[in-house]
Structure 1
């Protein structure tokens, strides 16, 4: 009985790993197709050319602090980049 359970768990794990590998491959292939159509540099230039584009130095510090405080109120006080309680 125990061997059957181990056998089925092993099969399930292998099937899960194969499924994950296939999904990662499909996602990477689609990503490469999109990148090959339009380069990242061209997309950045297109976004920066828009009339509504604002550079970081044009955004007020009050707004930036408000965004940070809403997203993570302990951002400035914690000692690590990784904060699992956030």
Structure 2
């Protein structure tokens, strides 16, 4: 009787845990791409700032590159635990 009760509890808890698995899989697969998209976006902004100001000084490029790296870090922070 205890064995059947434990099997039922284990089955119920397994089903409860598995409910969020599809969402976790979507986050795990999509977040690296979101981070890479943010990186590309930031680098494009950096090039656009260079073109507008016609200056390759670090103060022109650094904010956009920092934003791109931050977006990459956020994507990885979501992806690594999800995997």
For the aligned pair, the TM-score class normalised by the smaller chain equals 0.3 to 0.5
Between Structure 1 and Structure 2, the one with more helix by share is: 2
Normalised by the length of structure 2, the TM-score is 0.36
Greater RCO (Cα-Cα under 8 Å, separation 6 or more)? 2
